[in-house]
Amino acid sequence: MKLRNIAIIAHVDHGKTTLVDKLLAQSGAFRENQRVAERVMDSNDLEKERGITILAKATSVVWKDTRINIVDTPGHADFGGEVERILNMVDGAIVLVDAAEGPMPQTKFVVSKALKIGLKPIVAINKIDRPDARHQEVINEVFDLFAALDATDEQLDFPILYGSGRDGWMAASPEGPKDQGLAPLFDLVLDHVPPAKVEEGPFRMLGTILEANPFLGRIVTGRITSGTVKPNQSIKVLDRDGKVIETGRVSKILAFRGIERQPIEEGEAGDIVSIAGLEKGSVADTFCAPEVTEALPAQPIDPPTVTMSFLVNDSPLAGTEGDKVTSRMIRDRLFKEAEGNVTLKIEESADKDSFYVSGRGELQLAILIETMRREGFELAVSRPRVVFKKDEATGQLLEPIEEVVIDVDEEHSGVVVQKMSERRADMVEMRPSGGNRQRLVFYAPTRGLIGYQGELMTDTRGTAIMNRLFHAYEPYKGEIAGRTNGVLISNDQGEAVAYALWNLEDRGPMIIDPGCKVYQGMIVGIHSRDNDLEVNVLKGKKLTNIRTTSKDEAVRLTPPIRMTLEKALAWIQDDELVEVTPKSIRIRKAILDPNERKRAEKQKEALSA
């Protein structure tokens, strides 16, 4: 059967996964009466809830006697570790761009990688039915972007389609015709994308996507470069330098047929398949026949930029809500995650009770924590810290810098520029982006961006869109002022009383409800001043037999500030932890005892002096 391999590239929320749904439906991958979930490619619960693609996935459709393998790539920079290698599996790319927003930084990141390896893009302008669509300007922006990324003349001569992925149509003009569905896109893929490249020689395949399966063990997905592979065949695994990592047998070969993965008897060159049966082979390794000695060229994996400590939960309420609480269980779970996620790096501390987990961004780590708490884990996590480096030549301290693009209404642009400059960001560009909106581009240290998302939403009344992308390691930019408010700390263990919370409202907003279980050292509110304050939230009302109108006032509480996991991770300071359990998210001081806390502060002051 003829083969075509394509990737769909787009920014977050530009409609990749919805378009794949329609491609599957119109190619006959589903039966007429089959019940199919919306966004069928977003398979895990967190992807469905947040509406983002976290893991790259492949599917395949048959159109006019040609099998088209489609790879859906993540749009978030935090999960971009997958993207670079996926592009090596395909021969063409559909660049999906929103008709109103135009090309965004994540599109730029993936497109630059695609153009570098010589893929010929097809540009699809999606959401053409939006009231604020400006397709002509967006096409000019796409052309400028390709030109800025050193595209060849052949790549700049890209075909353009307009349409709506949600409504399931694409056409050569913005007006339609709409009755042909996605047939114009399928036909363009067959005409414009070259057939799958096949090389001569024995079996070779570059590992691209890694996953851990409870029944089959490690499953590695990639494109077969040359030769064929059958179940029970002996193969070996080479790393990027050509050293042999392991030898073994293929236990199963799976290929994508529609949304299902089915076992096949033989994988042929050019096809995208998954291989099971090897224990050590990973992403960027070459899986090959025993006689092969040279590894296939592979992209190195980008370094992690953010690290967090995962600790065993040692609070007085430990073990009351989750059933997986020991360091051994946490260790096993983290190392299992690292097996299937190549961008994570895990190190054990000397005392074996805590683990340093490094990743591409705090969103990636927050999703790992959220997954673990849903599985019944209890743990404490520290504030995200950036991974610094030393310049070997000069001995200078280097830190990760990100390119930040913020689309904001003109009236709010002043406050955004001010807040970003406080975070040591340098402004590179400021231009109108249509509809009274400004596009601001900054180079900002990753340190300063931790926790800025929530503040940006407050400052701009929820109208700003921020996109971040790793830029480079540059010299350390200096101190950045952190949180300005202190916290209210509970001085005893028990259940919070509404009357006590009501009396404490003058001190600052609360983050707990009445009846919430608290313990000594747990943070219950935000102090209105810059120092920490210990408070009693257990103090009930003294009952007397005297009745007056003022005594019997009803307690009217201001609703507390709700701390989500991401908000809590961004808000805490270095001496605080977030306690995560399947039922609650609590914030606490790392040292619970107030006397020990004061002693530790004095020691820290003495050392800094």
Residue ranges for the binding site for GTP? 13-18, 126-129
Length of the chain: 609
Is the bond preceding 177 in cis, omega lying within 30 degrees of 0? Answer: yes
Spatial distance between the Cα atoms of 119 and 93, rounded to a whole number of angstroms = 7
- Say whether 569 sits in a helix, a strand or coil: helix
CB 8 within 8 A of CB 73: yes
Binding positions: 13-18, 126-129
- Here the tokens at position 479 are 């101190």
- Here the tokens at position 451 are 């926790």
With 0-12 / 13-18 / 19 or more C-beta atoms within 10 angstroms meaning exposed / middle / buried, residue 448 is buried
- H/E run at residue 75: none
With 0-12 / 13-18 / 19 or more C-beta atoms within 10 angstroms meaning exposed / middle / buried, residue 207 is buried
Residue partners of 456: CB distance under 8 A and separation at least 6: 406, 416, 419, 464, 466
Spatial distance between the Cα atoms of 250 and 232, rounded to a whole number of angstroms = 5
Residue partners of 466: CB distance under 8 A and separation at least 6: 404, 405, 406, 452, 453, 456
Spatial distance between the Cα atoms of 202 and 264, rounded to a whole number of angstroms = 19
For CA atoms 328, 332, 334, 338, the dihedral sign is positive
Q: Distance of CA 326 to CAs 30, 66, 382, 438, 579, Å?
A: 45, 52, 17, 50, 14
With 0-12 / 13-18 / 19 or more C-beta atoms within 10 angstroms meaning exposed / middle / buried, residue 605 is exposed
CA neighbor of 5 nearest in space, from 92, 105, 64: 92
